Amino acid sequence: MEARKFYITTPIYYINSPPTIGSAYTTIIGDVLARWSRLKNIDTFFLTGLDENASKTVKAAKEKGYTNIQKYADDIADVWIDKWKKLNISYNGFIRTTSKKHKKLAQKYFEISYRKGDIYFGKYQGLYCEGCEEFKRDIDLDNGLCSYHKKEPIKINEENYFFKLSKYQDKILKLIKSKEFILPKYRRNEIINFVESGLNDISVSRPNQEWGIDVPFDKKQKIWVWHDALLSYKSGVDKKYWKGKVLHLVGKDILKFHSVIYPAMLLSVKDRLPTTIFAHGFFTVNGQKISKSLGNSIDLDYLCNKYSVDALRYFLIREIPFGQDGDFSEEALKTRLNNELANELGNLVSRILSIIEKKLNGKIKKDILDKKLTSKLNLNSIGKYMENYELHNALAEIMKFVKECNKHINDEKLWEMQDKELNEHCYTLLESIRILSILFYSFIPETSEKINKQLNVKIGKLKDCKFGLIKNYNIKKGDILFKKVE
């Protein structure tokens, strides 16, 4: 049975920079899954937001000449919100960790764990990577450098609060071995090995920090940023969604925090555990890791302006097998836009609408359906792919039907037909395009809306993906859907 409520989150992003193609990737995927769930009529809540209490926020603010850190956070939050609007991200909640409601919850949970003895005061000596915002063990380092950030961690010797992660080792192990908790399956073993190698207690506060959430009973200490950030999933949502199916979408870089530390924190305060942590892969740009020092992150505005938002959304989902690592290149984006979106989808819509306008005055009546074409749409596999988080395969299957429609026009030589015969074929094709617009809606919503406007019908839900629903079409041909880029 399908859950009646679905809660999906993206990681909350650090605000030391505006959104990058990397954060856009996760957020677009979250948006696709949320839209798909709404199409199924499931009550869905999609949360994204910002991780503002990190020390890198202070660094970035100072570099940009801000003396008021909160002002910097507020200003850059607007940039993120604007960008998500531009990318058509249909989030229902946007959580900022400097908000009052988030701080209150983080402090409350910290105090509950402290009162029950799961948080205690101690001394810590260790190596801290500011990029990861995490203390590192020797085995986490590569020649003394953080393996992610390629930077030497700083030596820290301080007194702070510890969380008894070790106490939860057995429970966490059982949880991560369960079927649905870590997806895709192939990411599970790495985490199992990590937990089996023994969990140490972790430091969860930092003394003498100017920025962050105060430990509620010790104003000299701030809560460690991950210990506060992970709770944004709880502070950002209404109770009713917390009780349904909960999916946290993360990049593989932060799976450990989500599948080990986060559930232990929830167990400590006796809160409910999420259903699934899905870790997707990372992509490189032209084969290279995206990094500030290489300066190879491609500007999102540039991509959206040159290729269109929907082309970017389509490309990111279609190109990279969901879950695995992939590569981003402008050349590949151009090829997908020109060959699949413009030549196949755009052409299909403009060809058929031109014929109807020219030969039938824009009007089509309900008619017999051509089973040769309708049988080519495999709704079942599209649904299954979506359920199994094989987004790239779902999109490929939808595009396959677009190609079948174009082939149908060619094989049947629609341009040679007249009146009754033409009406019959055009009806099947318009119904096909209408259904395609529903199926595409999660991926390329703006295009679906444009198609529906030209068909002069409203966007339906998944249950409306049935041939023969519309009685009369009175179409209004519009501009082409995709411009090719040479």
**Which residues in this chain contact ligand MSP in the complex, by CB under 6 A?**
11-14, 22-23, 25-26, 51, 229-230, 232, 250-251, 253-254, 282-283, 290
In the complex, which residue's CB is closest to ligand MSP? Answer: 22
Yes or no: say if 359 and 422 are a contact pair by the CB < 8 Å rule: yes
Provide the minimum distance between the beta carbon of 384 and ligand MSP in the complex, in angstroms, as a whole number.
Answer: 25
Q: Sign (positive/negative) of CA torsion 468, 469, 474, 476? A: negative
Go through the chain and tell me how many residues it has: 486
CB-nearer residue toward ligand MSP: 236 or 460? 236
- Please state the closest distance from residue 417 (CB atom) to ligand MSP, in A: 48
Q: Shortest approach of ligand MSP to residue 236 CB, angstroms? A: 10
The residue (of 184 and 251) whose beta carbon lies closer to ligand MSP is 251
Nearer to ligand MSP, 251 or 362 (CB): 251
Contacting residues for 224 by C-beta, under 8 A, at least 6 apart? 133, 202, 203, 204, 205, 206
CA–CA separation, 475 and 383 (whole Å) = 29
Kindly tell me the sign of the dihedral angle through the C-alpha atoms of 14, 317, 435, 360: positive
Question: Is the sign of the CA dihedral 64, 65, 70, 71 positive or negative?
Answer: negative
The Cα-based distances of 97 to 57, 63, 214, 330 in angstroms read: 12, 21, 13, 34
Q: Which is nearer to ligand MSP, 25 or 124 (CB)?
A: 25
CB of residue 24 to ligand MSP, shortest distance in Å: 9
What is residue 285's three-state secondary structure? Answer: strand
CB closer to ligand MSP out of 60 and 438? 60
Helix axis angle for 169-177 and 188-196, nearest 10°, is 160
The distance of closest approach from Cβ of residue 178 to ligand MSP in the complex, given in angstroms and rounded to an integer, is: 21
Say how far apart CA 345 and CA 405 lie, in whole Å: 9
Residue carrying the six token digits 């969860």 = 204
Pair 162, 268: CB distance under 8 Å: no
Q: How far is the CB of 320 from ligand MSP (least distance, A)?
A: 8
15 or 215: CB nearest ligand MSP: 15
CA distance 87 to 294: 25
Query: In terms of CB distance, is 175 or 230 closer to ligand MSP?
Result: 230
Identify which of residues 280 and 434 has a Cβ nearer to ligand MSP in the complex: 280
Report, in Å, the least distance between residue 17 CB and ligand MSP.
8
Least separation in angstroms between CB 300 and ligand MSP: 13
How crowded is residue 30: how many other Cβ atoms within 10 Å of its Cβ?
24
